[in-house]
Structure 1
Amino acid sequence: MENLALSVKELNKYFYDPQTFHVLKDISFDIKKGEFLALTGKSGSGKSTLLYILSTMDTAYEGSLTINGTTLTGKAQNELAAFRNEHIGFVFQFHYLLPEFSALDNVMLPALKLEKKTMEEIEEKAMANLKLLGLEDQALKPANKLSGGQQQRVAIARALINEPTIIMGDEPTGNLDSKNTQIVFDIFRELAVERGQTIIAVTHDDDFAANCDRVLELMDGKLIHQ
């Protein structure tokens, strides 16, 4: 159990409007710390719905979710929000950076919200993350002046700022060309191997998925392959 980053047991999810629809069906799996995992399936298979539950954003489900030894099922929204900010980093298909803020300021935001370190410590950590991602020379540039690949790397640096247990990506390379897709993949691989961080990425990219440690494939709300 100590080596588990995330555990899902007998997960079921229903939509009720306009009629009852069973979206996720009896899903159970464990993810080890430091594992780089791809979540795949055709559109409508339920993979984004599953990621939303794993991220603790959606609490209307049956079953149990445990992250880093903490069972999160049934917790209040404010508890979940605090847990998310400390333990989960997010990288989306669209980077969601604040366009007028510098790259450095964007990276610092989640740590400022967490309020566990001084401003100086947060700025130092943010710069270290930008350096890790080859962006230290872009630190003071407004986010809207960066290329698409650079913006996505800033989003990864931001996801890392609170040293989360898990990084969750929703099509993190969906808007990138093949060169930048490879750069992002290599960054994730390095984070998993060197830092022991767990990566869960929803992807339509077969090459991306094939190079991950493990693939969870969904079809019609069921886990058909892992």
Structure 2
Amino acid sequence: MESTLALQADHIIKYFYEPEKFQVLKNVSFDVKKGEFLSLTGKSGSGKSTLLYVLSTMDTDYEGQLIINGETLTGRTQNQLAAYRNEHIGFVFQFHYLLPEFSVLDNVMLPALKLNRKTKAEIEHKAYENLKLLGLEDQAFKMASKLSGGQQQRVAIARALINDPSVIMGDEPTGNLDSKNTQVVFDIFRELAHERGQTIIAVTHDEDFAKNSDRTIDLSDGRIVHHG
């Protein structure tokens, strides 16, 4: 029987060693269902961004086990993880990380060109469809640097979706946006989770954003203090 779980974090322990040894994650365990929109919250220094980087497979220096869609990713090589991320995980950061000298369409196409599973024409079509989904089709041929902050963040979401990832991870995805654009991004995430079955895990300090997501996990001093 196929599992309904998108992600399982099992007894995750993480230390920093500079300037001295410090335990930043203390035995963190939780599951995320497929199609769930989860917010990770907590004060600055609570370990939420560190946890996201472990969950995203970008940080491999931890104890415990990480399973995504039934695959154990703990212990894989950096090259294996990079390939896995590009295919299965979409990222939306606080800063959009678009390439300013590229067009909007080219920025969205990049992860799919790297994956190299489809023809360039197919990728271009998919990128355009994603921009349409986010109300940006009329901006496709503009340079990314010419867009507003809210538009750039929506392009970053379109790019995160290009390889049809099963999990989308956001690190303060609305951190640089005003309340109107924050609502737009939130609504997009909710639609992706509830209508397209994509799993969203977002670190946020925005209380309204967290409160309106399906579930919140609150961290304090490296431990889960609240599941809601």
Shared fold by TM > 0.5? yes
Structure 1 segments (4+ residues) deviating >2 Å: none
Render the CA deviation track for 1:129-153: whole Å, top value 9, x for unaligned: 0000000000000000001100000
1:117 corresponds in structure 2 to: 118
Q: 1:30 deviation in Å?
A: 0.3
1:10 Cα deviation from its structure 2 partner = 0.6
Which amino acid in structure 2 is aligned with residue 170 of structure 1? Answer: D
What code does the residue aligned with 2:206 have? D
Please give the residue correspondences for 1:137-216 in structure 2 after superposition, counting only pairs within 5 Å: 137-216=138-217
Of 11-20 and 143-152, the range deviating more from structure 2: 11-20
Structure 1 residue 17: Cα displacement: 1.8
Aligned to 1:23, what secondary structure does the other structure show? strand
Secondary structure of the structure 2 residue equivalent to 1:43: coil
Unaligned runs of 5+ residues in structure 2 are none
Match of 1:63 in 2: 64
Residue 22 of structure 2 aligns with which residue?
21
TM-fit CA distance, 1:207:
0.4
Q: Within 1, Cα distance between the matches of 2:134 and 2:77?
A: 35
Structure 2 match to 1:222: 223
Percent identity over paired residues = 77
Rounded to whole Å, the distance in 1 between the matches of 2:77 and 2:146 is 39
Q: Give the aligned length.
A: 226
**TM-score of the superposition, structure 1-length normalised?**
0.99
Quick one: distance in 1 between partners of 2:221 and 2:109?
39
Cα distance in 1 for partners of 2:99, 2:18 equals: 34
Q: Which residue identity is paired with 1:117?
A: K
Partner AA of 2:64 in structure 1: G
Which stretches in structure 1 are left out of the alignment for 5+ residues? Answer: none
Q: CA RMSD in A?
A: 0.6
Tell me which residue corresponds to 1:40. Answer: 41
Cα-to-partner distance string for 1:72-91 (whole Å, 9 max, x where unaligned) = 00000000000000000000
Distance apart, 1:100 and its partner CA: 1.0
Q: Specify the SS of the correspondent of 2:187.
A: helix
Alignment partners' CA distance in 2, 1:66 and 1:116: 24
| Secondary structure of residue in 2 paired with 1:218 | strand
Q: Deviations over 1:48-92 (max 9, x none)?
A: 000000010000000000001110000000000000000000000
Residue 104 (1) aligns with residue 105 (2): yes
Deviation at 1:112, TM superposition (A): 0.2
